[in-house]
Amino acid sequence: EVKRLGLPVQFHYLPLGGSSTFHRWPLNYLIYNRWHVRAARLVDSLLSTGQFQIVHLLNTVGYRLCGHSHKVAQKHGVEYVWGPIDGASLFPIAQARKYIGTKGACYYAFYNLCNLLQFRFSSSFRKALRNSRQVISATSDMQALLKKQHGLDSVRIAEVGCTHEDVSDHRSARQRLEISWSGLHIHRKALPVLLYALKRLPQQKRDQIRVHVLGSGPLTGNWKKLADHLGVGKGIVWHGWLPKDQAREIVRQTQIFCQTSFREVTSTVVAEALSLGVPVLSLKCCGMKDLLNDQIGWLVELDDDIDGRIATILDSALESPDTLEKKSQAAFQTAKYNTWEILADRVVGVYQSLSVFRNH
């Protein structure tokens, strides 16, 4: 793409290193920190040429391992931009426990404790914030937390963008309501939210719904057993992992994409669904609540009746199919205003706000 556009960009590839065993939590933090050390050395050598005025750390969205490039930028007196970043929000254990089980609840209780301590007291994180001329938050939640805990004003730019595609007349007439779901089968993705919602519907309504589940993971077997136990297994197609083009085509042929995850940033699969003109049904949390609205989908409040609310939405969708087409067209239009190109323009706006631009 760089060659096609004729951009003056040079890549310096730094492999992560280490065996695959060390790429799992918590050892992956050690490997990632070592990578940051090597990256900072490279940044130091590049800045020594005097050809650069801005350093932008655009890496994994999590704020915890903030690297060492900000120290190098400070040393050379150049401006430092960091982000998009996210990951400080607490996991809603009370609302999610029914769907993630005791093991998942215990894991996220520990996660929340670590998150509270790290976000408030991590010296490396606080130093990275001080050395940053501009911080980009991926979500409104992160933006608010940075302001509340650290008094920092940040710019909000999502970490994922949509693509602009032609989705006209892409769905044939359906006798069933086709729903897609995609993701790694782990606790926080919470497919059981949808399974319990299906259980709340009368059998006659369930027979009119087919759910396409994409992906797999350590909880696949448990979720299949739960679906059968709840009596909704016959209406679910378990596709596993498919090549991207095949997976996108399955989503493209559905009328609703369901995002049940309790912890995401903005969610790549949500952006892809909107790009395909598929309305999104999502929990009202994370970056999904920044991107979605009632015109292009449904946002479900986090309370003690999540699956009941989703069941009501599905029942309404069965009764009013015209609403789905209206939301589909609105989803497609929304995608056009949230493309990668538009996000890139916003990042350019961040650069232009820096003194290095204002002084030229």
Neighbours of 317 (CB within 10 A): 21
Pair (141, 226) in one structural domain = no
Q: What is the pLDDT of residues 75-97, one digit of tens each?
A: 999 999 999 999 999 999 999 99
Which helix (DSSP H) or strand (DSSP E) does residue 126 occupy? Answer: helix 123-131
- pLDDT at residue 103 above 60? yes
Q: What is the pLDDT of residues 280-308, one digit of tens each?
A: 999 999 999 999 999 999 999 999 999 99
Average per-residue pLDDT in the chain? 93
In a domain, 26, yes or no: yes
In a domain, 49, yes or no: yes
In a domain, 79, yes or no: yes
- Put the strands of the sheet holding 209-214 in their side by side order: 236-240, 209-214, 177-182, 256-259, 280-283, 297-300
Pair (287, 225) in one structural domain = yes
C-alpha–C-alpha distance, residues 200 and 110, integer Å = 32
In a domain, 166, yes or no: no
Higher pLDDT, 360 or 36: 36
> How is residue 131 written in tokens?
């050395």
Q: Are 105 and 97 in contact (CB under 8 A)?
A: yes
pTM of the model: 0.92
The two most distant CA atoms of the chain are separated, in Å, by 71
Q: Are 248 and 226 in contact (CB under 8 A)?
A: no
Pair (315, 216) in one structural domain = yes
pLDDT score for 4: 74
Which helix (DSSP H) or strand (DSSP E) does residue 278 occupy? Answer: none
Q: Which long-range contacts (CB under 8 A, 24 or more apart) does 121-130 make?
A: 122/64, 124/66, 125/63, 125/64, 125/66, 126/150, 127/70, 127/71, 128/66, 128/67, 128/70, 128/82, 129/82
Query: Checking phi first, is residue 55 left (phi over 0); if not, alpha (psi -120 to 50) or beta?
Result: beta
Domain boundaries, position 56:
2-161+340-358
Pair (71, 190) in one structural domain = no
Pair (200, 261) in one structural domain = yes
Instruction: Please state the domain count of the chain.
Output: 2
Query: Given the structure tokens 């670590």, which residue do they identify?
Result: 114
pLDDT score for 3: 74
Q: What is the CATH number of the domain that holds 274?
A: 3.40.50.2000
Q: What is the pLDDT of residues 184-208, one digit of tens each?
A: 999 999 999 999 999 999 999 999 9
pLDDT score for 60: 86
C-alpha–C-alpha distance, residues 347 and 352, integer Å = 9
- pLDDT at residue 21 above 60? no
Pair (103, 204) in one structural domain = no
Pair (130, 14) in one structural domain = yes
Cα dihedral 218/221/222/225 (nearest 10)? 170
- pLDDT at residue 278 above 90? yes
- pLDDT at residue 22 above 70? no
In a domain, 24, yes or no: yes
> How is residue 261 written in tokens?
């995850």
Pair (207, 295) in one structural domain = yes
In a domain, 172, yes or no: no
Q: What is the pLDDT of residues 207-266, one digit of tens each?
A: 999 999 999 999 999 999 999 999 999 999 999 999 999 999 999 999 999 999 999 999
- Determine what percent of the chain is predicted with pLDDT higher than 90: 85
Q: Which long-range contacts (CB under 8 A, 24 or more apart) does 288-295 make?
A: 288/259, 288/264, 289/140, 290/139, 290/140, 290/156, 290/158, 290/266, 291/158, 291/266, 291/334, 291/338, 295/327, 295/330, 295/334
In a domain, 169, yes or no: no
Pair (303, 220) in one structural domain = yes
In a domain, 279, yes or no: yes
